[in-house]
Structure 1
């Protein structure tokens, strides 16, 4: 999904404060809306490509191809979205560690260095 790639590049260019504000505004506080939008986008593509496959290939083979295509598209959409969420939610949490409003006790935190 190229949408996540371009959104990923946009978020990588932002500094931490602007990223936190943008992430909280569009994703963190409205995750249900984002997921339902992705679901309706998937349904819209499924109906469009299903109608196209059925028109071009006939009802039986078009329906079978639509089922396989919908599963493949759902697989790509889910895993790309989860990768996108994991990467940027990690950045959101790490950049929010040193905020003034954070009450987390950092005395027992051990920093690891990867070689």
Structure 2
């Protein structure tokens, strides 16, 4: 659990610093990312992004769209080869991201949820 706590804290710290390279360092090249925010920012009804370079483009747009973005981490939930980060997200919405981790400890799949 200590390793997952470090992961969650580092992930939030990277987002709060708006450090795109540090944010992306948590993700595998073959990431699959699902989020309702993708629908809005990318105008993509599937809400899905595949591949780290596409994720880079999406995160770049998100950082521009939300210049005051600041996350507040509430809980880190441990799973089997996965973690759920529960945090306050954009516009003070509650968010939970279920992240599947590969053998290298990198995120290979995300399912983002918002209240």
Higher relative contact order (CA 8 A, sep 6+): 1
TM-score scaled by structure 1?
0.25
TM-score scaled by structure 2?
0.25
Whose helix proportion is higher, 1 or 2? 1
Whichever of the two has the greater Rg, that structure is: 1
